[in-house]
């Protein structure tokens, strides 16, 4: 079951095409990484999902229903460029934003207190936003995004500007949200966090979707059948089907080699072969990182 489906979305601005035939399926209770270089069309797609913009054509379905304005109540959105009213108090500001999402006053106040307490910000409730540090402001923005317990949480570069401690706090909260039933769309070009958090990804480049699916499957798909072997003594006389791509000396008589295995062979066959020739210390398959996939796909296109 998909929480959100985008079907053949087209969107153009006066001077350029922002989205071309983009379709996505975002499963319920997943963390979905929306990846792509700057200017690829991620923000436009997000703005269409949040009803800020209208697609030229195509449809967005939320829980199988065509997206309408009232759905914004079940969506929480943290934009990449974000801010708050500087002259407004923390508590009031959160209350205002929560009520705009349709939450009633007393419930909103309870939840604000709960979240401020959870993120250790309770004593700042009466302070103006401008008195807060940037990191604290970002926590407030995060709280504002999730106060109304949306089914769909959209986070656009949520970690930019956070210090490492806060990054971890927010990462944990994102995982918590998912575990409690929310679906998270996570737009970023920092692949490290994608690696850790995302279950599914889609890669958008130059207004088109060029890759999507489960992170695991994609990685599987992009495996190159290369193995990294640490071994004692030089590797010599390997059978012709295996080719040694690179080799370097690690230590006295300890070497690291990368071996390409042909499609119709499996790692066990290689191992058998290796045992004859050398003493194996370590044997790992080289699985491409999301970063490598990202770079290779994007540069392939341009």
In the complex, which residues of this chain contact another protein (CB under 8 A)?
13-14, 47, 50-54, 56, 69, 72-73, 75, 77-79, 81-88, 96-97, 99-101, 141, 144-145
Residue 141 or 278: the one with the smaller Cβ distance to another protein is 141
Residue 100 or 250: the one with the smaller Cβ distance to another protein is 100
Residue 100 or 271: the one with the smaller Cβ distance to another protein is 100
CB of 108 to another protein, least distance (A): 11
- The tokens describing 281, both together, are 């210390």
CB of 69 to another protein, least distance (A): 7
CB of 101 to another protein, least distance (A): 5
CB of 67 to another protein, least distance (A): 12
* Residue 267 contacts residue 256 (beta carbons within 8 Å): no
CB of 252 to another protein, least distance (A): 58
Residue 148 or 200: the one with the smaller Cβ distance to another protein is 148
Q: Is 236 buried (19+), middle (13-18) or exposed (0-12) by CB count in 10 A?
A: exposed
CB of 97 to another protein, least distance (A): 7
Residue 22 or 84: the one with the smaller Cβ distance to another protein is 84
Residue 56 or 292: the one with the smaller Cβ distance to another protein is 56
């Amino acid at each position: 079951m998909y929480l959100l489906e985008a079907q053949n979305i087209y969107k153009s601005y006066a001077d350029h095409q922002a989205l071309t035939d983009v379709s996505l399926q975002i499963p319920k209770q997943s963390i979905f990484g929306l990846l792509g270089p700057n200017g690829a069309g991620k923000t436009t797609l997000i703005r269409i999902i949040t009803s800020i913009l209208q697609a030229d054509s195509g449809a967005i379905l939320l829980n199988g229903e065509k997206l309408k304005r009232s759905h914004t109540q079940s969506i929480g959105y943290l934009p990449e460029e974000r801010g708050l009213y500087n002259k407004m108090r923390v508590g009031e500001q959160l209350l205002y934003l929560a009520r705009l999402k349709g939450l009633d006053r007393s419930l909103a106040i309870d939840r604000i207190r709960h979240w401020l307490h959870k993120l250790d910000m309770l004593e700042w409730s009466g302070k103006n936003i401008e008195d807060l540090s940037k990191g604290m402001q970002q926590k407030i923005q995060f709280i504002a995004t999730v106060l109304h317990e949306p089914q769909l949480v959209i986070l656009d570069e949520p970690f930019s500007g956070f210090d490492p401690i806060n990054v971890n706090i927010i990462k944990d909260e994102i995982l918590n949200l998912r575990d409690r039933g929310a679906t998270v769309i996570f737009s970023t070009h920092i692949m490290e966090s994608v690696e850790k958090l995302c279950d599914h990804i889609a890669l958008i480049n130059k207004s088109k979707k060029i890759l999507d699916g489960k992170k695991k499957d994609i990685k599987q798909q992009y495996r190159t059948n290369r193995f990294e072997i640490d071994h004692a003594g030089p590797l010599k006389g390997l059978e012709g089907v295996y080719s040694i791509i690179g080799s370097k000396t690690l230590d006295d008589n300890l070497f690291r080699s990368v071996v390409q295995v042909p499609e119709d062979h499996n790692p066990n066959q290689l191992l058998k072969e290796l045992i004859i020739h050398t003493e194996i210390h370590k044997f790992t398959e080289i699985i491409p990182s999301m970063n490598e996939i990202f770079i290779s796909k994007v540069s392939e296109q341009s």
